[in-house]
Amino acid sequence: MKIVAVRSYLRKMALTKPYTIAYNTYSDVSLAFFEVELANGIIGYGSGSPAEDVVGESSDQSAANLQTEFVQNIVGRDIRHFQQIIFETIQHFPYLPGTQAAIDLALHDAFGKFIGITIAEFYGRKINALPTSVTIGIKSVQEALEEAAGYKALGFKILKVKTGLDVNEDIERVIKLKEQFGSYFKIRVDANQGYTIQDLKKFIEATRAKDLELIEQPIPVGTENELLSLSWADRKLLAADESLKDPQAALQLASNEKPFGIYNIKLMKCGGLVGALGIANIANNADIDLFWGCNDESIISITAALHVAYACPNTKYIDLDGSLDLAEDLVKGGFEIKDGEMHINNAPGFGFTIL
């Protein structure tokens, strides 16, 4: 089946509420969208939402790349060769994961719709559903408690608490959340590179009795070897995020002594499903658990992440709440959240519908 048209566009979308992490505050997000249309009228949808401060590419750059002659030349190709087209895309746009992801996702969606199965089924579904965490940005203890109460009312059971500006305040925030809600919430922490190794050790010791589920990217990229001063029991709870952009980084971090026991995979870091599966296979062979994360993203890419996450046997955690932060989107559906668990549907491709 021939591809007869491709289309791309950039949209700025407001967030439902601004939030702060260790190195920035966000109030809106720009998303690059990409469409692939087949001769029978099927349209596959992709989106790109790279974090420029992490991967060096902005959504504006992604949108510009999607207008280039290389992308226009996808027209006339056969959708059954979608994996070859993705390979060529990675070669043509190296180190531009937002661009890669938009094309990768649209081709996967179109192919799944063409053959009539979900992408999770295409890769072999291993997991039915998992609970997602929801994110609390850096804020006062009282504000964090109030936000957590709101999430409890919505049925969520896992919090991801942003930290990294002041370790003492971070410790207080986590302890107060556990005191207020007891065992109702599991708590994950994301320092976004904000700690020194001394801060991290202090945080781990002060919260050890609080049974935290994991600590994401505690120290800056490039200082990962400092984590080897921790015991393996502590390192098993550490998740690589900004340190893990592609399969090459996954391989490096899996060799010899491992600084991280968990890999956080984001489609917008690794360029889509093909890159994600490359990381996942390395992690599986190295006995490293998978934690699937996101930026502020459309339902399009959040659903895509769910499909590939549920096709990987070593997936243990998901943090795919990025579309919940958007005040608007271009699609609906794709997944349902029931008592905090994310369930994909059985519609072909990624299963969402255009608004």
Same domain, 209 and 344: yes
Domain stops at, among 116, 141, 175: 116
Same domain, 164 and 298: yes
Same domain, 132 and 110: no
Same domain, 93 and 215: no
Return the pLDDT at 27. 78
Task: State if pTM tops 0.85.
Answer: yes
Same domain, 195 and 271: yes
C-alpha span between 212 and 172 (Å, rounded): 14
Domain stops at, among 91, 116, 141: 116
Same domain, 307 and 230: yes
Distances (CA, A) of 217 to 11, 169, 316: 30, 18, 17
Q: Which regions of the chain are under pLDDT 50?
A: none
C-alpha span between 216 and 173 (Å, rounded): 16
The per-residue pLDDT for range 35-52, each reduced to its tens digit, is 999 999 999 999 999 999
**Long-range contacts, 78-81 (Cβ 8 Å, 24+):** 78/1, 78/2, 78/3, 79/1, 79/2, 79/3, 79/36, 79/38, 79/107, 79/110, 79/111, 79/114, 80/1, 80/111, 80/114
Return the pLDDT at 23. 65
Domain enclosing residue 77, as ranges: 3-116
